[in-house]
Amino acid sequence: MKEGMEPMASTKSFWLLLIWFLVAASGLLIVKWLGVWDHLDLNRITIWLRELGPLGGLLYIIVYTLRPLVLFPATPVTLYGGYVFGAFWGTIYDIIGALAGALLSFYITRKWGRNSFQRILKNKRLQSFDQKAEEKGFMVVLYMRLMPFFPFDGVSYGAGLSKIRFWDYAWGTLIGIIPGAVIYNVFGASLQDIGSGKFYAALGMYVAFAIIPLLLKKRRVIK
């Protein structure tokens, strides 16, 4: 009886997880439709966070950690961190928050969705990738974190559904997010002085970081 109930429980968890994703996505669309973002006073929020000092950084980390739960895009939050706290502290706060959020996302789908996903995984190509991901998890995660065309939260949640080992995922994520965190925060900090040499240098780094991986997209790390 107990053995028969376990698949039912995991399937129920999987559907609850799917419903949560749909609700979160719908919530974002509703907020955008209502024009909530247009009424936010970012200047006031920015000044408030800067005046809080380290506490403002802590609040930023908490928001970044919880951000994946509402499916809010990571890039605007990262750029804003650089704008508020500067390139150095923005990068530090971003790495901590991004890693914590990525681990939270991984844990959620690993705990509530993996078993059901493995049972419905029928496609042989996906099964092959899943097996290779288990064998070369660190390199798979590192590659996807370094390449900006992979959606950040999609990688986090997808890794939780796969056979990738936790520590392979954690180290691949930590190392892989550092270059992007530095570049995005340098660019975010340069927005305080638009039109300066620093701004155009940061813009060049930002564009290069986005374009170069596209040129290397056909290169494969999993053979």
Residue 4, domain member (yes or no): no
Total number of domains in the chain: 1
SS3 category, 205 = helix
More confident residue, 122 or 7: 122
Query: What band does 30 get if pLDDT is binned at 50, 70 and 90?
Result: low
Quick check: helix, strand or coil at residue 217?
A: coil
The answer to the question of residue 173 being in a domain is yes
pLDDT band per the 50, 70, 90 thresholds, residue 5:
very low
Residue recorded with tokens 């965190």: 181
Would residue 148 count as lying in a domain? yes
In a domain, 79, yes or no: yes
pLDDT band at 183 (very low <50, low <70, confident <90, very high): confident
Residue 170: predicted pLDDT: 96
pLDDT of residue 27: 60
Domain assignment present for 215: yes
Q: Note whether residue 9 is domain-resident.
A: no
Q: Which residue has the higher pLDDT, 163 or 173?
A: 173
In which domain, by residue range, is 68 found? 52-221
The rounded distance, in Å, linking the Cα atoms of 3 and 35 is 49
Percent of the chain with pLDDT over 90: 30
Q: Is the dihedral of CA 50, 55, 61, 64 positive or negative?
A: negative
Query: Could you give the count of Cα atoms lying within 13 Å of 15 in the half-sphere of its Cβ?
Result: 5
* Residue that is written with structure tokens 């092959």 in the block: 128
Place 1 in a pLDDT band, splitting at 50, 70 and 90: very low
Give the global pTM.
0.76
pLDDT (tens digit per residue) in 138-158: 988 998 898 877 889 889 988
Say if 128 falls within a structural domain.
yes
- Confidence band (pLDDT; 50, 70, 90) for 178? very high
At what angle are helices 166-190 and 74-112 packed, to 10 degrees?
170
Token pair for 33: 């439709």
Half-sphere exposure of 222 toward its Cβ, with a 13 Å CA cutoff?
17
> pLDDT at position 215, please?
64
Establish if 80 belongs to a structural domain: yes
